[in-house]
Structure 1
Amino acid sequence: MLRARVLTAIVLLVGLLAAVFYLPAAGWLAVCALVCAAAAWEWGALAGFARPLRIAATFAFGAACLMLGHAAGFASPAASGGALLVPLYAASAAFWLLAVPAWLARKWALSNTVLALLVGFLVLVPTALALVQLRAIGPWPMLAAMAVVWVADIAAYFAGRAFGRNKLAPSISPGKTWEGAIGAVLAVLSFGFGILLWQGASLPGGALATAAALVAWTGVSIIGDLYESLLKRQAGLKDSGSILPGHGGILDRIDSLTSTLPMVALGALLLAR
């Protein structure tokens, strides 16, 4: 299992870097639409969709990503805008910051088909478009935004294994602990300030504001992880899929990105105005 996990991670990283640095804008948009479609297929399993609806949602979400990306100008090599997507990103942010905490507390289920489709759209399509937008701004900013989440995930895992005593959400994800969450926060603060200092970048709003943003970023990434864990538990699934040996499905790998990347993209658009 560990061997498969490591090999899959290496292949994914190499494939991601190759796509990010060598594909043209239209090609990267197509890749993100394919990832969105694959994740939509897995979302259908979490929501309990019948096969015809899963297929329809897969094509619809992928097509929506392509159409919105083209409408925002992301198929053009010079594109770095995306103002058209501000309402979509804002809706995504509202969902994660307002609806999901209540959802986790009350443990609602995706029992309504229309609701499941709407939520799936809000979870997946803004994430895919955020990947396209951030790459249009620059490959390194996009990778840095993703790396913050990866650092949080890895630090939470190892800190939780080493020091974990107090469960974070035992009825949703028994393996997660408060100690792991604290480890994630400390790692993200170190990573974030390290990158900013290394680049000689000014701290937006000062050190305290930057630290608060990094802590909030980590918290939102944990919420994304917990949300998918809840849906898997309710669906009786260990993983969202099996397409990635040793890792499960696409959703298992992007759960924390779904809650964070649209907010990063929204922040980038608002700061550019």
Structure 2
Amino acid sequence: MLKERVVTAILLLGGLLGAVFLLPAAGWVVLCAAVCAAAAWEWGGLARFEYPLRMSTAVVFGIVCAMLGFLAGLGRGEPAGAVLLIPLYGISALFWAFVVPFWLARKWTFTRPLLASLVGFVVLIPTALALMQLRALGPWVLLGTMAVVWVADIAAYFSGRAFGRHKLAPSISPGKTWEGAVGAVLAVLLFGFGVLVALGADHAGGAPAIAAALIAWTALSVVGDLFESLLKRQAGLKDSGALLPGHGGILDRIDSLTSTLPLVALATLWLAR
């Protein structure tokens, strides 16, 4: 199992790096739309859609995602056009900051397909568009953004295994602990400030704000992880899919990105004003 997991991770990383650095902008938009469609298929499984609705959701999400990406100019590698996406990013930010915490606390369930589809749209479409936009700003911008989430996930896993005693959300994800969350925050702070030092950026005056942003970033990544864990538990599934041996499905790999990438994309647009 561990060997399978490691091999899949290496192949995924190699494929990601190749796509990020080698694909033309239009090709990257199409790839992100395809990933969105695959994730939407898995979302339909979590929402317990019947096959026709599940398939149509995947197709519609993929097409809408591609259309929005090209409409925003991301198919030409022009990130300035992404200002058209601000409303979508704003809705995503409000959803993750104000709706999901209540959702996790009250353990709401999907009772209507329309609601499940709308929530899936808010979760998946902005994430795919953020992948397009951040890559248009530069491959290293996208990889650096994703690396923060990867550092948080890895640190949470190992610090939780080593020191975990107090459960973070036992009824949702019994394996997650407060010690793991603290380890994730510390690792992200070290990583974030380490990158700034390596780049020679003058961050002394803004250190408190940067630290607060990194902590919030880490907290949101945990929220995204917990949200998908709740949906899987309610659907009676261990993984969102079986596409990635040893890792589960697409949603299992991007759960923490769904809650963070759209907000980072929104912040880049805001700072560029």
The one-letter amino acid of 2:27's match is G
Once the two structures are superposed, residues 34-80 of structure 1 have per-residue CA deviations (whole angstroms, 9 ceiling, x without a partner) of 00000000000000100000000000000011000011001114444
**Correspondence for 1:234:** 234
* Aligned residue runs from structure 1 range 177-196, under 5 A: 177-196=177-196
Instruction: Determine the C-alpha separation between the residues in 2 that align with 1:106 and 1:113.
Output: 20
Q: Does the Cα contact within 8 Å between 1:80 and 1:136 map onto a contact in 2? A: no
Instruction: Report the equivalent of 1:251.
Output: 251
Identity of aligned residues (%): 70
Contact 1:41–1:58, Cα closer than 8 Å, also in 2: yes
Indicate yes or no: 2:193 matched with 1:175: no
Secondary structure of residue in 2 paired with 1:242: coil
Once the two structures are superposed, what CA deviation does each residue of 1:168-206 show, in whole Å capped at 9, x if it has no partner? Answer: 000000000000000000000000000011011233961
After TM superposition, give the deviation of residue 254 of structure 1 in Å.
Answer: 0.2
Counterpart CA distance in 2 for 1:123 and 1:168 is 23
2:17 equivalent in structure 1: 17
Cα distance in 2, alignment partners of residues 116 and 28 from structure 1:
27
Distance 2:77 2:114 in 1: 36
Q: Distance in 1 between matches of 2:63 and 2:39?
A: 13
Counterparts of 1:201 and 1:138, CA distance in 2: 18
The alignment's TM-score, normalised by the length of structure 1, stands at 0.99
* Structure 2 partner of 1:5: 5
Tell me how far apart the structure 2 counterparts of residues 59 and 202 of structure 1 sit (CA, whole Å).
46
| Aligned match of 2:151 | 151
* Equivalent position SS for 2:165: coil
Corresponding pairs, count: 273
Query: Are the structure 2 counterparts of residues 229 and 205 from structure 1 closer, same or farther at C-alpha, using a change threshold of 3 Å?
Result: farther
Determine the C-alpha separation between the residues in 2 that align with 1:67 and 1:86. 16
SS in 2 for 1:75: helix
What is the alpha-carbon distance in structure 1 between the residues aligned to residue 52 and residue 263 of structure 2? Answer: 32
Give the secondary-structure state (helix, strand or coil) at the position aligned to 2:74. Answer: coil
> Which residue number in structure 2 is paired with residue 97 of structure 1?
97
Residue number in structure 1 paired with 2:122: 122
Mapped partners of 1:158, 1:250: distance in 2: 22
Kindly indicate whether the alpha-carbon contact (under 8 Å) linking 1:33 and 1:128 is maintained by their aligned counterparts in 2.
Answer: yes
**Unmatched segments (≥5 aa) in structure 1:** none
CA distance in 2, matches of 1:135, 1:203: 24
What is the root-mean-square deviation in Å for CA atoms of aligned residues? 1.0
Q: Please state how far the C-alpha of 1:110 moved relative to its aligned partner.
A: 1.4
Secondary structure of 1:247's aligned partner: coil
